[in-house]
Chain A
């Protein structure tokens, strides 16, 4: 099962905004509003940041927002802060035999 495609890395200065894309197919990202995003710091477990494309769990900063257009979902981080430097993964529900697929991961660097 092929992973969703994300850019390997993105960067931005503190206070700027940055957007991470997550491209799939009509069998996953494009077919369902069940895209989620995870933040992972080195040596730590992933943390849910966005679910169902646009929803933020309680406690997640409003600087994080999600959207989707066609087969591509996006995570935008506004007002970049040093603590946002981490690896980010998207995930989607899929109609294939295994119900979930993750993205390839994007390293966010705060300059």
Chain B
């Protein structure tokens, strides 16, 4: 079974940092681009970041550029999102998602992990 499981969410103060993890199983992880998408409470989906299978190329939404860093460890079948300088507007459920490959869509999603930014 293809599965993505996020972890690492929690409560953090404004200006703080947090690292999210997404553990993958059931497919050849290193051959798939991976993505992070977030959803603020009661709001719509927002693209956050992407990384290619070999980790050689990354992309970010303007809203997180310079504050978030995506990375992956193909030996551990895990993708990460290091979040820094967190703001109240970063509060959301963060989903990791697999790329359709080839394609430009997200075919498998994790269950999400909640990040709360509050003092």
A52 to B105, CA, bound (A): 8
Most buried by B among A36, A99, A102, A105: A99
Q: Which of B22-30, B54-62, B79-87 contacts A (4 or more CB under 8 A)?
A: B54-62
Q: Is B100 positioned at the interface, with any CB of A under 8 Å from its CB?
A: yes
Interface flag for B45 (CB, 8 Å): yes
- When distances are taken between beta carbons in the complex, the residues of chain A under 8 Å from B112 are 45
Q: Which one of A34, A51, A89, A99 contacts B107 once the chains associate, using CB atoms below 8 Å?
A: A51
Cα of A104 to Cα of B104 in the assembled complex, Å = 19
B106:A99 contact, CB within 8 angstroms: no
Bitwise interface map of A from 43 to 57 toward B, beta carbon under 8 Å scored 1, else 0: 001111001100001
Q: Determine whether the beta carbon of B44 is less than 8 Å from that of A89.
A: yes
Given contacts A46-B45, A101-B47, contact A93 B104 (CB under 8 A): yes
State the Cβ distance, A48 to closest chain B Cβ, in Å.
5
Assembled-state Cα–Cα distance A100/B55 (Å): 18
Count B-side interface residues using an 8 Å CB cutoff: 23
Contact indicator B100/A51 (Cβ below 8 Å): yes
CB of A74, distance to nearest CB on chain B (Å): 16
Mask of B106-117 contacts with A, CB within 8 angstroms, 1/0: 110111100000
Residue A69 lies at the interface, judged by CB distance under 8 Å to chain B:
no
Shortest distance from the beta carbon of A81 to any chain B beta carbon, whole Å: 22
Contact A98 B61 (CB under 8 A): yes
A100 touches B44 (CB 8 A): no
Kindly state whether residue A64 has any CB partner on chain B within 8 Å: no
Q: For the complex formed, measure the closest distance between the CB of A19 and the CB atoms of chain B, giving whole angstroms.
A: 19
Give chain B's interface residues, CB within 8 Å of chain A.
35, 37, 44-47, 50, 59-62, 65, 95, 100, 103-107, 109-112
Question: What residues make up the interface of A, taking CB atoms closer than 8 Å to B?
Answer: 1, 3, 32, 34, 36, 38, 40, 45-48, 51-52, 57, 89, 91, 93, 97-105
